[in-house]
Chain A
Amino acid sequence: MNRKITLSRIAQKLSEQTGRRARDCEAVLRSMFQIAGNALAEGETVKIKGLGSFKISNVEARKSVDVATGRETEIPAHKRIVFIPSKELAKAVNAPFDMFETVVINEDVLDEELMQAEAAGNEILVNDIQEQIMAEEQRAQAEVEEIREKYPIVAEDAVDDEDPDESAADEVAASVVDADPDRESDLGVNATADATALAESPSASEDADAGGGESMRAELPEYEHPDDEQDSTITTDADDGASVGRRGRWRWYVAGGVLVLCLVVCALWWLNDDFSEWGKSHMGGRAVEATVTDNAILGEANDLNDVSAGQDGMMEDLGGSEVAKVEEDSTEVAPTKPSDSDPVYDTVTDTRYLSTIAKEHYGNFNLWPYIYKENESFLGHPNRIKPGTRVVVPPLSKYGVDPTNKVDIEKAKKLGVEIYARYDNPKMQHN
């Protein structure tokens, strides 16, 4: 690659090829160029069969700018050597692009499409001639074989296949995006892999066509559109895919699909967290509602509806009436009367929160902070008490709290807020 091969090296190769002595070959070549050079120095045109012709052309004087100073100068008239390769040589050197031919563009083809096609054409041209062109041809053929095996339904003619391939690829891509999150790991990856395989197909068939001898024509505009559509459904890295090369493009599709899946998983995880937060919150009206009905305090359910819907002001008022109702409905539930002598225990479960326990024992769920305080030593975040934790329910008299006193209820609420603050401040909560 990019090496400068000397004549001696060439001569060696020639001697291997022709069987003549390397020395002789080199002599012939050197003599040839020497004679040619002499002729050119005389102003003569030299024509070498199979190579081309060298001729002297006159270049007129032209105005220019001196690059250093910036002032105008004139490039004087001079002569230069022009090399026109012979037809055989030109054809031989253009071997990789041999199958293309100049094509007439129809009137109805828009300039935009032409620009796209031109851009596509420029992309087709690779920087390293030998490696990529040859290798791509081989690869494309291998890929086409692979895909034909994989999708036997697909017709042999790659050009006609474009639309079925493409719509199938779109469907698969759509299924990737809409995939059921629970099955995402299996379905999603496979779907992505299939989509990328199909995505390869138009580009592979493009390569195959390049190697197969069809003219470029309006195929180039056509090929651009499938790539664009697929890129938009599967990944946003369209530009990256194109520049990376056909081989590497499918990797970007897979990476994009995996990224989408990760985002979906994360979103679900956060949502789950949210709901469990809600459930365990002592202020969560709906959840408390459910547990209250579970505990068969039917009469209270309606009150709680009102309570949870209302503002703090309302709750204050209703709290009083609610307490009154509790005492009235004592036939339904007998709140255990805490006494100093035997400690009262209760268990926190996934349906019984501190607030439910407070409601039962004290008649007001706002008084849960006192239960918390009593068991502070082993309780962490009030919303995250492990189900099955046994807590001591202290008598209210221990803290001097009167459940009927509005002021005391307010104090309890403040205490609750305080307790939360202890945990919510240092940690970053997603609420």
Chain B
Amino acid sequence: MDNKTLIENIVSATKQTREDVQEVVSAFCKLLPDVCLEGDSVIVSGFGQFESRKRKERLTVHPASGERLMVPPKIVMKFRPSAVLNSRIVK
């Protein structure tokens, strides 16, 4: 399901204007990293949890050129599906 279809579905489900829906969605996407950087996680019941994780610096080798690389540390966004959702996909 691509973004457009998704928005359409939300519009028909909530009976709100497309404009509104899109604005809410994009506002949410901007808010999410801010919350996660504070160390909190966003939990959507029945769906899952969005949280941030730290990744350490590491040494790797570029597969093509063979040169050694130092990948810097970073913070990534992680999604943990809820048990409810997991049980749904199994079927």
Q: Give A92 to B76 CA distance when docked, in angstroms.
A: 10
Contact across chains for B70 and A129 when beta carbons are under 8 A apart? no
In whole Å, how far is B39's beta carbon from the nearest beta carbon of chain A? 4
Q: Which of B21, B52, B89 contacts A41 (CB 8 A)?
A: B89
Known contacts A4-B49, A28-B16, A48-B3; decide if A103 and B24 are in contact (CB<8 Å): no
Inter-subunit contact B40/A92 (CB<8 Å): no
Judged by a CB distance under 8 angstroms, whether B64 is at the interface is: no
Majority secondary structure, B binding face: mixed
Complex contact B73–A121 (CB within 8 A):
yes
Would you give the 0/1 interface string for A197-218, flagging 1 where the beta carbon is closer than 8 Å to chain B? 0000000000000000000100
What residues of B have a CB within 8 angstroms of the CB of A81 in the complex? Answer: 48, 79, 81, 85-86, 89
Chain B contacts of A7 at CB under 8 A?
42-45
The answer to whether A124 and B24 touch across the interface, beta carbons within 8 angstroms, is no
B21 proximity list for chain A (CB < 8 A): 28
Q: What's the least CB distance linking B56 to chain A, in Å?
A: 5
Q: Indicate the size class of the contact surface on chain B.
A: 35 or more
Interface string of A1-44 (1 = CB under 8 A from B): 11111110010011001101000110111111111110111011
Instruction: Given A28-B24, A89-B33, decide whether A125 and B56 contact each other with a Cβ distance below 8 A.
Output: yes
Q: Does A49 contact B (CB under 8 A)?
A: yes
- Judge if A51 is at the interface, Cβ distance under 8 Å: yes
B14 touches A45 (CB 8 A): no
Q: Assess the B75–A129 pair: CB atoms within 8 A.
A: yes
Taking the closest CB of chain B, its distance from the CB of A233, in whole angstroms, is: 29
Across the interface, do A129 and B20 meet the contact criterion of CB distance under 8 Å?
Answer: no
Interchain CB contact under 8 A, A103 and B57:
no
Contacts of A114 in B (CB 8 A): 59, 70
Interchain CB contact under 8 A, B59 and A105: yes
Residues of chain B within 8 A of A311, CB atoms compared: none
B63 at the interface (CB under 8 A from A): no
Q: Is A102 an interface residue (CB 8 A)?
A: yes
Residues of A63-94 at the interface with B, using a CB-CB cut-off of 8 Å, are: 78-81, 83, 85-86, 88-90, 92-94
Closest to A127 in B: B54
Is B67 in contact with A104, judged by CB distance below 8 angstroms? yes
A90-B76 contact, Cβ under 8 Å, with A40-B88, A41-B88, A104-B67: yes
Asked whether any CB of chain B lies closer than 8 Å to the CB of A56, the reply is yes
> Which of chain A's residues has its CB closest to B42's CB?
A5
Known: A14-B24, A37-B88. A92 touches B10 (CB 8 A): no
Residues on A with C-beta less than 8 A from B88 are 37, 40-41
Is the pair B58, A105 in contact by a Cβ cutoff of 8 Å? no
- In the assembled complex, 23 residue pairs joining A and B whose CB atoms fall closer than 8 Å, in A order, are A5-B41, A13-B31, A28-B24, A29-B28, A31-B13, A32-B6, A35-B6, A36-B6, A37-B85, A47-B6, A48-B6, A50-B30, A52-B79, A81-B81, A93-B32, A93-B36, A93-B52, A93-B76, A96-B75, A104-B62, A122-B57, A128-B39, A129-B75
Chain A residues packing against B (C-beta within 8 Å): 1-7, 10, 13-14, 17-18, 20, 24-25, 27-37, 39-41, 43-52, 54, 56, 78-81, 83, 85-86, 88-90, 92-97, 100-105, 114, 117-118, 121-122, 124-125, 128-130, 216
Residues on B lying within 8 angstroms of A by beta carbon are 1-3, 6, 9-10, 13-14, 16, 20-21, 23-49, 52, 54, 56-59, 62, 67-79, 81, 85-86, 88-91
